[in-house]
Chains A and B, each alone.
Chain A
Amino acid sequence: MESRMTSRSKPSILDKPLSKGKGDLNLSSFAFLFSEMVQYCQNRVHTVPELQQKLSDLGQHVGFRILDTLFLREKNYKREIKLLNMLLFVKTTVWKTLFGKEADKLEHANDDDKTYYIVEKDPLVNKFISVPKDKGSLNCAAFTAGIVEAVLNGCGFPAKVTAHWHRGTTYMIKFDEAVILRDKNMEGR
């Protein structure tokens, strides 16, 4: 009570407009945190696919929370309706906010209508992690795949996203049938 009376000249924190936030974080801090996260999941699972699933779940927590702030800050409250625009939004804006750079490539699968690929040569989360031979196919970018999955699901484009070792790291996005049909109908209009 007293502090608010004396600081009448300075606007209280509730009166200040919402800032954009400082977007930068020390890479080492994040690397240590992520390394602990992987170890935490490692202690609770017995197989590699379970570990990837746990990392993906953690990523989904992040994805849900960042979705609204992103649309608020970057897209001025306008939500994406078309599939391709949504994917471009993920590739550019989401990546830029999270990692400071855009993803390398966005591709459509030749044979399958429902599958898209985002290719990244050097994911930030894998920068310091050397996977030992006995863990084989583990890719810690499953965390980023979880983020993408939550973003897409939250926007009304239900999909499954997985991370693979292909040309660096490839995120395979598999949309539901309904999404593709709806998009096609919209194109027709």
Chain B
Amino acid sequence: MVIYSVFVVNKAGSLIYHNDHSPSRPEVEKTFGYPLELTLKLQDERLLVIFGQRDGIRVGHTLLAINGEDVSGTKLGTDNEKNVMDVLNDQSNYPISIKFGRPKLSSNERIMLASMFHSLFAIGSQLSPEPRSSGIEVLETDAFKLHCFQTQTGIKFIVLTDPRQGGVDAILHRLHELYADYALKNSFYALDMPIRCELFDTSLQTALEQAEKSGVYSGV
């Protein structure tokens, strides 16, 4: 029972806090022979797999490392000299070991995704056939569950958890309490700004760990 991450979005839709409690980015490393059966394409300064899904490597996965050396953009290694596509097209480098996976989100991407969710939430509550809808509360996928709680003031607490995690409502309310305590009562916190309060961080970590521990028992 894992809690993957926590996001807090203010009433304007911008991300004011995020915490990656247990990052779970799947990574697969495999050895390949020439020619490479996967088709790679450059997108957003990253090389993505667009065809040739096999053995755990799916479409959308990014090239993360070659032979242990990390790939940044299209350049290999720390000296940033060798172009990755050249290395892959050169037969003399094979057999080659390549690591694919979902890359870690950059902070810009996180902010963008949070704003996107904010808009979707608004659209969801408008589309609802019932008046006074609560907006999106749970979003389920086969890999994770996204829970959202909107307070009276428009602040949204979003928690990404394991699908089997129970008692997430309690977690969301506890997060709201912690926000009211350590962010709002802090003289140095300005409303709707990014939350940079140590006490909020530490108490949030403790609350999440507690929830994970008790989540095990509720799952059984």
Q: Is A97 an interface residue (CB 8 A)?
A: no
- Chain A residue total in the interface (Cβ 8 A): 16
Q: Could you tell me the dominant secondary structure of chain A's interface residues?
A: helix
Tell me if B187 is interfacial: C-beta within 8 Å of chain A. Answer: yes
Complex interface bits, B171-207 against A, C-beta within 8 A gives 1, otherwise 0: 0000000001110111110000000111110000000
CB <8 Å contact, A32 and B198: no
Tell me, in angstroms, the Cα distance from A140 to B180 when the chains sit together: 19
Contact yes or no, B200 A129, CB < 8 A: no
Bound CA span A42–B181, Å? 20
Asked if B188 contacts A128 (CB within 8 A), the reply is no
For A39-75 the 0/1 string (1 means CB < 8 A from B) is 1001000000000000000000000000000000000
Q: Which of B181, B185, B199, B200 has the most CB of A within 10 A?
A: B185
A24-45 contacts to B (CB < 8 Å) = 28, 31-32, 34-36, 38-39, 42
The answer to whether A130 and B185 have CB atoms under 8 Å apart is no
Encode contact with B along A120-145: 1 for CB under 8 Å, 0 otherwise: 00000000111110010000100000
Cα A135 to Cα B187 with chains together (Å): 12
One of B182, B188, B199 near A135 (C-beta < 8 A) = B188
For chain B, the bracket of interface size reads 10 to 19
> When the two chains form the complex, which single residue of A32, A36, A132 contacts B188, counting CB atoms closer than 8 Å?
A132
What CA separation (Å) do A131 and B199 show in the bound complex?
9
Interface centre among B180, B187, B199 (most CB of A within 10 A): B187
Within 8 A of A (CB), among B32-54: none
Which of chain A's residues have a CB closer than 8 A to the CB of B198? 130
Across the interface, do B185 and A31 meet the contact criterion of CB distance under 8 Å? yes
Name the distance in Å between B193's Cβ and chain A's nearest Cβ.
12
Contact B181 A130 (CB under 8 A): no
B185 touches A39 (CB 8 A): no
Q: Are B185 and A128 in contact (CB under 8 A)?
A: yes
Q: How far is the CA of A132 from the CA of B196 in the complex (A)?
A: 8
CB distance from A141 to the nearest CB of B (A): 13
A55 to chain B, nearest CB (A): 10
Cross-chain contact of A35 among B187, B196, B199, B200 (Cβ < 8 A): B187
Query: Measured between C-beta atoms, what is the minimum distance from B188 to chain A in Å?
Result: 5
Cα A39 to Cα B185 with chains together (Å): 11
Residues of chain B within 8 A (CB-CB) of A128 are 181-182, 185-186, 199
Most buried by B among A28, A129, A135: A129
Contact indicator A129/B187 (Cβ below 8 Å): yes
Contacts of B199 in A (CB 8 A): 128-130
A129: which B residues are within 8 A, CB to CB? Answer: 185-188, 199
Q: Which residues of A contact B197 (CB under 8 A)?
A: 130
Shortest Cβ gap from A45 to chain B (Å): 13
A117-172 contacts to B, CB under 8 A, are 128-132, 135, 140
Residues of B within 8 A of A36 (CB): 187
CB proximity of A37 to chain B, nearest CB, Å: 8
Contacts from B to A (Cβ < 8 Å) = 180-182, 184-188, 196-200
Interface pairs (14), CB distance under 8 Å: A31-B181, A31-B185, A32-B185, A35-B185, A35-B187, A36-B187, A128-B181, A129-B185, A129-B186, A129-B187, A129-B188, A130-B198, A130-B200, A135-B188
Which residues on A are within 8 Å of B, measured CB to CB? 28, 31-32, 34-36, 38-39, 42, 128-132, 135, 140
Given contacts A28-B181, A31-B181, A132-B196, 10 further A-B contacts (CB under 8 A): A28-B185, A35-B184, A38-B187, A39-B187, A129-B186, A130-B182, A130-B188, A130-B200, A131-B188, A140-B187
Nearest 5 Cβ contacts at the A-B interface: A38-B187, A128-B185, A130-B197, A31-B185, A35-B187
